[in-house]
Amino acid sequence: MNLKRNGALLGVVAVGAVTAMSLTACGSDNNAASATVDTSASTASCEGKDKLSGAGSSAQKNAMDEFTSAYIAACQQKGKSVNVAYNPSGSGDGRTQFIANQIDFAGSDSAIKGDQAEQAKQRCAGSDAWNLPLVFGPVAIAYNLNGVDNLVLNGETIAKIFNGGITKWNDPAIAALNSGAKLPDEKINPIVRSDSSGTSDNFQQYLQASSNGAWTQGAGSDFKGGVGEGAKGSAGVAQAVATAPNSITYVEKSFADQQKLSVAQIDNGSGPVKLSQDSASKAISNATFKGAGTGDLTLDLQSIYGTKEPGAYPLVLATYEIVCSKGYDAATSAAVKSFLTSAANEGQQSLAAQGYVPLPESFRAKINESIAAIA
């Protein structure tokens, strides 16, 4: 996705900036970092062990490549050789490997909780595992509808499309949001994920929060709406919509861009909002946390998905880094803190070019506080 970068990330790269290098990480298929990152002011200590390992969310795979390249470059300037191997094996597998002490950190589209959080305590020497939301990516409502370039939907109409409550493009509920648009009298063809997916889980949580009760199917990694044609993976649903007139799907914006799909505006109750870096960042800036907001930073997703803030695009996928708050050996603790410090700061500089939303400044400050508190 080629969203415009936040102005704070633009400008001439300072002396000492280095071009982020490529890294071959375990399980990854394309690890070339794509942007020039200024690491001259990095606060990463580069202390601890030289090699870290992680696994989990494929949604954050490209972000992890950028983080790793920036970290390597920052530590090279300090005379230290480091490496991070990240396997995008899926959120569930990442949490399982973390609990089993097979990796140093996990990437996950959902916070670790319940029985898994209790199991993680054993791995963390009796201490809690923390969820640190470090990567955000907007999810598009992408569609293929001839003659309609600026479709507007809201949570209720999206829910009814994906649970069969609305079946025609010229349904009065859609027409009311699109005055003057030539909506065809055609059957809507929803395309949904056939595989288990964090995108499906977050999409359905959004529908629960925003549809005024129209979505009663619940959430989870499997799509529960009961309608639509299935396609595997983000690339699969995007390609299916590109070749199927009158179709619609939910997919990460970068995949919609790759297929040149139209993307709906979402009316969160304060008027239609186009998907952009700024509108997604606005929703993230207003996010709140389930706990006290120190240490563990599990998000209260209602604060994002249910936002009424004018100009905020609410459908944003958050992915976490899961780490031990305490319980690492000293070398691992130092390296985890150093890597995450780099990721939360200079690592954010190149994310917009990869289709993610860099952390807003106020949010990034809280992430840095939690990273510093890892013992």
196-234 per-position pLDDT tens digit: 888 899 999 999 999 999 999 999 989 999 999 999 988
Within-domain flag for 311: no
Residue 8's pLDDT is what?
A: 33
pLDDT of residue 196: 83
Q: Is residue 328 one of the residues assigned to a domain?
A: yes
Same domain, 230 and 348: no
Structure confidence at residue 293 (pLDDT): 63
pLDDT of residue 21: 34
Residue 45 maps to a domain: yes
Give start and end residues of each alpha helix (H) in 48-90: 61-77
**Residue 339, pLDDT score:** 98
Q: Which amino acid is at 201?
A: D
Residue 226 lies in a domain: yes
Look up the pTM and report it.
0.83
Of the residues 249, 280, 311, the one at which a domain ends: 280
- Which pLDDT belongs to residue 23? 33
Average pLDDT, stretch 60-81? Answer: 96
Tell whether 99 and 11 lie within a shared domain: yes
Q: What is the pLDDT of residue 87?
A: 95
- Number of separate domains in the chain: 2
Indicate whether 132 and 143 sit together in one domain: no
Q: Which domain holds residue 187?
A: 138-280
Q: What is the mean pLDDT of the chain?
A: 90
Residue 327 lies in a domain: yes
Cβ-in-10-Å burial (0-12, 13-18, 19+) of 184 comes to middle
Cross-strand partners of 259 = none
Question: Cα(16)–Cα(64) distance, rounded to whole angstroms?
Answer: 22
- Tokens encoding 164: 């069969």
Same domain, 159 and 131: no
For 299-316, the pLDDT digits (tens) are 999 999 999 999 999 999
pLDDT at residue 3 above 50? Answer: no
Question: Which is nearest to 317 in space by CA: 362, 267, 357, 264?
Answer: 357
Shared-domain flag, residues 268 and 146 = yes
Pairing of β 265-267 and β 152-154: parallel
362 CB burial (10 A radius; 0-12, 13-18, 19+): exposed
pLDDT above 60: residue 194? yes
Residue 6: pLDDT band with limits 50, 70, 90 = very low
pLDDT digits (tens, 9 = 90+) for 230-273: 999 889 999 999 999 999 999 999 889 999 999 999 999 999 99
Residue (of 284, 246, 283, 281) closest to 262 by Cα position? 246
- Per-residue pLDDT tens digits for 317-353: 999 999 999 999 999 999 999 999 999 999 999 999 8
Residue 2 lies in a domain: no
Same domain, 218 and 244: yes
What pLDDT is attached to residue 24?
Answer: 33
Is there a single domain that holds both residue 164 and residue 263?
Answer: yes
Alpha carbon distance 352, 45 (integer Å): 25
Task: Read off the CATH number of the domain in which 112 is found.
Answer: 3.40.190.10
Question: Is residue 47 in some structural domain?
Answer: yes
Report yes or no on 244 lying in a domain.
yes
Give every strand in the sheet of 265-267, ordered side by side.
Answer: 152-154, 265-267, 272-273
Distance in angstroms (rounded) separating the CA atoms of residues 155 and 213: 10
Contacts of 178-181 spanning 24+ positions with Cβ under 8 A: 178/148, 178/150, 178/151, 178/152, 181/148, 181/150, 181/151
Q: Which helix (H) or strand (E) holds 191?
A: strand 189-193
Same domain, 77 and 144: no
Residue 73's CB is within 10 A of a number of other CB atoms, namely 24
Is 359 found in the same domain as 328? Answer: yes
Section 160-174 average pLDDT: 98
